[in-house]
Chain A
Amino acid sequence: MPNSMPEDISIDRQLILATQAGLPLVPRPYDEIAERLGISGEEVRQRLTAMLADGRIRRIGAVPNHYALGYTFNGMSVWDVDDAVVDQLGEQVGALSCVSHCYRRPRHLPLWPYNLFAMVHARSESGALADVARIAELLGPACRAHEVLFSTRILKKTGLRISA
C-alpha cells in the first residue's frame, strides 16, 4: 500500500489481513488480533462494527461445507428470461426461501442464452428439482429455456484473499 494512504484505512487493511483467514480460536480473539496490530481490543471491535455497518463485512461467522451438512444437491439454476421483465421476476425469485443467491448476468450467445442465475441447495435430487419447479412456475411464460447445473465436486473454497 502507498505511504500516502491515510492511517485509518491502513489499519482497516491490516485488520482485514489479520482476519481474512479466520478468527483465532482463543477466548479473547479480538484482543489477540489487537495485540498483533498494536491497537486495543476495543478498537478492533469498533472497526469491525463499522465495517459491518457500511457493508465492507457481510457478516462475521462460520461458512459450513454444505456437503458435510447433507446438502449434496447444489444446483445452479439458469434461466433465459425476457429482458423486459427479468428485474421484476429476479426480485421475486430471490425472495423464494429455497434460493440462496440470485443474480442477473450476461448471456454468451449462442453457447449460453441464460441471464438469470438462482442457486438452490437440497438434501435430495427430488428436493432440488422441486425448488427448480417452483422457480419455473413463478417465471411462467417469460422464461424461454432453463437448465440446472449441479456441482459434482468442490475444487477450491478458500474465500477471498488480499495480499499484504
Chain B
Amino acid sequence: MRPNSETVPLDPTDRALINALQGGFPLVERPFAAVGTQLGIDEEEVIARIEFLKESGVLTRFGPMFQIERMGGAFVLAALAVPEERYEEVTAAVNQLPAVAHNYRRQHALNMWFVLATETPAGIPAVIAEIEALTGLPVYAFPKEREYFVELKFHA
C-alpha cells in the first residue's frame, strides 16, 4: 500500500473522471466510450487515464462492488489492541488472511480496525479464532446490528 502522505497530481479531467466513475458504470457494450462521451474525451483516453489512476494508487479498485451479505456471506468490523512493539508483526499476520478486506491503523487503545468478509456467517468466528491464535490477542468484534446509511463517494 502506498504511503498515505503521497499525492498524485490530478488534472480537471482526472477529477471529472473519478467523480463520474463513482456513479453507475454503464452496462453497455462499450462503457468506456459512453463515459468518454459524457466527459468529452475518447474511449482510448478514458482507458489510459483509468490505468494511470489505478497504477498510481488514486483508485484502489475499479469494478463491481459486491454485497456479500446478499449472497449469504457476512461482513464484520473487528479490532485489536496491539502493543506498539508488535505492530508490524501483527499487521502482517492479520493482512495475510484473505478474509481481511480492509485494515486501518487508528489512534486509540484499540489501534487496529479491520473488516472481515466471509462467504458464510460461520466463517466469521473461524477467522476470529485464527487471528487470535496467530496473534495471541483478543479480537473485539463489532457486527453491525443496524445499518442507517452507506454511501461512500468522494468529490475529487
Contact = CB atoms under 8 A, between A and B. Distances in A.
A75 to B, nearest CB: 9
Contact of B22 (A26, A48, A62, A108): A62
Contacts of A112: 110, 140
Contact of A149 (B5, B25, B113, B153): B113
Given A100-B150, A112-B140, A21 B63 contact: yes
Contacts of A41: 29
B1 A61 contact: no
Nearest to B96: A156
Interface in B1-30: 1-2, 4-8, 10, 18, 21-25, 27-30
Contacts of B31: 29-30
Interface of B: 1-2, 4-8, 10, 18, 21-25, 27-33, 43, 47, 50-51, 53-54, 56-68, 70-71, 73, 75, 77, 91, 94-95, 98, 100-110, 112-114, 117, 119, 140-156
The 8 A-B pairs with the shortest beta carbon distances in the complex, nearest first, are A94-B149, A94-B148, A62-B21, A155-B103, A160-B117, A153-B105, A156-B103, A104-B146
Given A57-B67, A100-B150, 16 more contacts: A23-B25, A56-B71, A62-B21, A63-B152, A68-B7, A91-B148, A91-B149, A103-B145, A105-B144, A151-B113, A154-B102, A155-B103, A156-B1, A159-B60, A159-B65, A160-B75
